[in-house]
Structure 1
Amino acid sequence: MSSSPVLNVGFSNVVFASKILAILQAESAGAKRLRTDAKEGARLIDATGGRKTRSILVLDSGHIVLSAIRPESLTKRLENGDNSFGKEEEDEEV
């Protein structure tokens, strides 16, 4: 198994960091369109664990990943190489 960096997007779900093209605010109009299009095209991956969607990740394969973690928190995790689990409950609170 390779040691490619992964990003914890919440609830023990991970995405290979090298596959991420963008991390978007879930409430933006463009992100909402991407979400709708991905759902219609069967390219939507829901990793929210039933929580409110706070960010949308665009992958190089065209898939869209929904996360309950704020974009700022995901970006910090990417920058710091933080692959730890169990922080999503903290990040999800407003």
Structure 2
Amino acid sequence: MKLVNIGYGNMMLANRIVAVVSPDSAPIKRLVQEGKERSMCVDATNGRRTRAVIITDSDHVILCAVQPETIAARINNEGDCDEDKEVIPE
């Protein structure tokens, strides 16, 4: 069970992630809107601009304020790519 930091203290299970995409394209905007209408959208941006959209295996849509490349690097254990670094004791 691996937790991934998706920004500003928010964590999620890495094995539940299906895709990490940019929110700029029209199909992703429609997907986010549909998620909001179905109450399946989680806003984890803490009031900041949405920079990544995570799609989960349960069809939840998670909005993040961290770049998709940063999240992908964290999933692949390449370390944190921005200043939002935290050490979590085991």
Sort the TM-score into its range (normalised by shorter chain). Answer: 0.7 to 0.9
- Cα distance in 1 for partners of 2:43, 2:31 equals 13
Partner of 2:88: none
* Number of corresponding residues: 83
- Cα distance in 1 for partners of 2:44, 2:58 equals 17
2:64 aligned to which of 62, 67, 86: 67
- Cα distance in 2 for partners of 1:17, 1:7 equals 6
1:76 aligned to which of 73, 77, 89: 73
Equivalent position SS for 2:4: strand
Runs of at least 5 residues in structure 2 that lack an aligned partner in the other structure: 86-90
Is the CA contact (8 Å cut-off) linking 1:57 and 1:64 kept in structure 2?
A: yes
> Is the helix fraction higher in 1 or 2?
1
Which structure ranks higher in relative contact order (CA pairs < 8 Å, sequence separation ≥ 6)?
A: 1
Deviations 1:43-64 (A, max 9, x none): 0000000000000000001100
Runs of at least 5 residues in structure 1 that lack an aligned partner in the other structure: 89-94
- Cα distance in 1 for partners of 2:41, 2:48 equals 16
Percent identity among equivalent residues?
35
